[in-house]
Amino acid sequence: MKVVFLLCVWIPSAVSVVLNFKPEVSLTSDLLVIRTATTITLSKPICLFTNGTIVEVFGVQANSTSLPNEIGPTIKNYQQTRGGATGPYRAASFVIATCTSSPFMASTDPTRIQAEIDEYLFRAGNDVQCLNQVSNPPEICNAPLEAGATYRFKYAVRNESTKAIEVETLWSDSISLLQVVEPTILSISPGGRTGGMVVITTILSILLFLLLCAFATMLIFKFWGSKELVTVEQSVPRTYTTHVRNKGYSDRIYSQASKPDAPQPTDKLRYQSTVEPAQASA
């Protein structure tokens, strides 16, 4: 009876509860980089877990041959699973977000941007330091994801005393990374463009060339016109009409002023000159 009793107690503690929830890529349009060639940004589970304080993130490549529905007691690390190629690995962990948190909205305050991103979002593949610990690999390694691969993720909460997983979510749908195109294989020929695009591009290029020519011609005419105007103004002497003196009039006035005044007759002579003609007529 004791064995049966212990077995009945142990089995429920070893089985976790799977919630009908799938991790997904952030749907906000305010976050520009939600997927890159080596990272994926996921939304954190808000108001999902009611117990525990730490959420663990498990990742696995979608084409892995070992994809269990539940995370078992044996969990391998990043190096042991070759980056999730052979099975799930523990990628990261974060504190459970408070249930009173409002929906994510990008802040315009620079001091709040990173804090809000850390509160609502999680970026898988954001740690390059854990790959350097080859001799003693860590249990949790959020190393960059393999370029060109497709991944699936799961959230889980452990029991703080037994360290067993109590609650976990479903695996996410397959999430593909952005494809990186090598610069050597980029097509620089116009073969991939339609005829209409080529015609429109040619017309716009010609109009732009004509506009630049007209602008340059206007600048040349303006420059040479102003230069010729300055040259003409400097070559033509400036003349001023001053007051012209009437030479004849001035000489006559000068000669009259230079002559001595005629002697004026005395009163006796003036009297004689007026009386004598009267006597002679008598």
Q: State the pLDDT at residue 148.
A: 86
* 187-206: average pLDDT: 74
Q: Could you tell me whether strands 17-19 and 54-61 are parallel, antiparallel, or unpaired per DSSP bridges?
A: unpaired
Rounded to an integer, what distance in angstroms lies between the CA atom of residue 56 and that of residue 59?
A: 10
77, two tokens: 């690390």
- Asked if residue 172 has pLDDT above 90, the reply is yes
* 62-88: average pLDDT: 86
User: Residue 37 in contact with residue 168, Cβ under 8 Å?
Assistant: no
β-strand partners of 168:
18, 156
User: Residue 94 in contact with residue 123, Cβ under 8 Å?
Assistant: no
Q: What's domain 12-180's architecture? A: Sandwich (2.60)
Residue written as token pair 């109590």: 166
Q: State the pLDDT at residue 56.
A: 92
Rounded to an integer, what distance in angstroms lies between the CA atom of residue 87 and that of residue 146?
A: 14
More confident: 222 or 175: 175
Record the pTM: 0.58
Report pLDDT digits (tens) over 119-137. Answer: 888 899 988 888 887 777 8
Q: Is 181 strand, coil or helix?
A: coil
Q: State the pLDDT at residue 143.
A: 92
